[in-house]
Structure 1
Amino acid sequence: MKHRIGERLDRWTVGGLLVGLLVVAALGMAAARGVPTTVSAPAKPAKVEAIEGSKVKKVTLTEEGVGRLGLTTVAVTEAAGVKTMPYSALIYLPDGTTWAYVETAPLSFQREPVTVTRIEGDRVRLSQGPAVGAKVVAVGASELYGAETGIGK
């Protein structure tokens, strides 16, 4: 069956109008129900805040951010008067200083300087650093440093 060009355009026009009307009707129904018609931007997984009087910043993660990093913390321990923490919690900065991220509140972390006296396998002996019992980040510390300093943005 042959169609003339005028007939084909009319069919496309009618079809387009019907689709348009369906979209408008769907949006109207969503608005009437109070359903949001726009998608909001996803929450950022980390919030970085300046600490007054310090060059170090506080990093607060969302639950999703912790999950993405697979972040884990381990308590600083003491045996025979020597504080230790996992080697994986140790961060070396380009200037040679050593640091660890300490959990200061649920989902909040702050970088603290540490002084290493010896590394024994997967443990680090400290002469200075977080208090015994403080939770240091054993997995995800380098990602926290990236978030704090803006590396990778």
Structure 2
Amino acid sequence: MNTSEPTIDRKVAAAVVAVLLAVAPAACKQAEAIEQEHYQASKITPAKDGSGHPTVTLTKLGAEQISLKTVPIEKNRIPYAAILYDAKAGQPYVFVNTKGLSFHREDVTIEKVDGDMVDLSDGPPNGTPVVTVGVPQIHGAELEFGAY
């Protein structure tokens, strides 16, 4: 036997292994909980107003990942980035922030497009926050990837 190799007392080694085996399940459960929260889906609440458009509620992490931004409607004017068009009827709409991280589709009527801004002749009232960054992602959540 080479005496220059380090040796570990068997009792110490057994104690280290016992500690690792005791800690590992708790660490795995904590990692699983973090992963579950990370991949938690948006919540979709069916429409109660007959519009057929559900309310999408994002998780905090989801909102961070899409760099969600909203701006209030001012003088019936919003950024063009907030506008989507219904594929079937061509109706323009926006996602309004109803509460917290919840968003609902509302139709708008465009009076004029002026560069990257849009003047509305009809839509949500002034002061209503509309989504300007993350619009396609909220739309995708609303559609539940084609199940809508």
TM over 0.5: yes
1:49 to 45, 50, 56: 45
**Which residue is 2:86 aligned to?**
93
Give 1:26 deviation, angstroms. Answer: 3.3
Q: What is the distance in 2 between the residues matched to 1:70 and 1:42?
A: 21
Alignment RMSD, CA only? 2.6
Partner residue, 1:109: 103
Shift of residue 30, structure 1, vs aligned partner:
3.0
Matched with 1:62 is 59
Task: Give the unaligned 5+ runs of structure 2.
Answer: 1-12
Whichever residue aligns with residue 88 of structure 1, its letter is A
**Cα distance, 1:35 vs structure 2:** 2.6
- Give the Å deviation of 1:36: 5.7
The 2-side partners of 1:62 and 1:150 are apart by 15
2:10 matched residue in structure 1 = none
Which range moves more in the overlay, 134-143 or 43-52?
Answer: 43-52
Higher strand share goes to which structure?
1
Which is greater in Rg? 1
Tell me which residue corresponds to 1:13: none
Please list every run of 5 or more consecutive structure 1 residues that lacks an aligned counterpart in the other structure.
Answer: 1-17
1:4 aligns to what?
A: none
TM-score (norm 2): 0.75
* Superposition TM-score, scaled by structure 1 size: 0.73
Number of equivalenced pairs: 127
Matched-pair identity in %: 34
